[in-house]
Structure 1
Amino acid sequence: MVVKVLAKPTFTVDQLTSSSEASKKFGELRKKAKQVPQYITENGTVDTVLLSYSLFEDIYDRLSRLEAEEEERTLLHRLERIERDPESAKSWKNVRRER
């Protein structure tokens, strides 16, 4: 199985706002976030990301689908192993703890 590692998100300087500035211009940041995520910094390091609800829903839906697909792959793999070696069976509750 090949594991694809994603690169960290990239952003422009226009998307960066200090936390003190963000508190003063929150309404403006909310409007910008509907177009492109906004990154709020604390002591020069990105601390918080502000994004539109529709983008959040898209990310959440994709994550949910990927988790379900991974769970299904895990179950199928374990079922195949149990068919080959019935003594290797474990309860699903214990399997989930291992992850």
Structure 2
Amino acid sequence: MTVTIKDFYADWCGPCKTQDPILEDLEEDYGDRVTFEKIDVDENEDVANEYQVRSIPTVVIEDDDGVVERFVGVTQRDQLEDALEEAGA
């Protein structure tokens, strides 16, 4: 089972800078079990559109079957951990 966190962000986005340390902490703890991807929406509009990202930060957690959970806005670590557990990380 592959679990991936896709972090949709932009350099100019203030709330994205708040989200970064939360995801960096998670990556330290889950990095061996979860793939972390940072996706700049300005440089990857096609991917952002594919995931229907309208606001950032948006964090999408996926497993082999597709999207397990999606969070819009700054999301706290405990919510992300719960979704990771649900995804089988």
TM-score, L = length of structure 1:
0.25
Structure that is richer in helix per residue? 1
TM-score normalised to the size of structure 2? 0.28
Structure with higher RCO (Cα < 8 A, 6+ apart) = 2
Higher strand share: 2
Is the radius of gyration larger for structure 1 or structure 2? 1
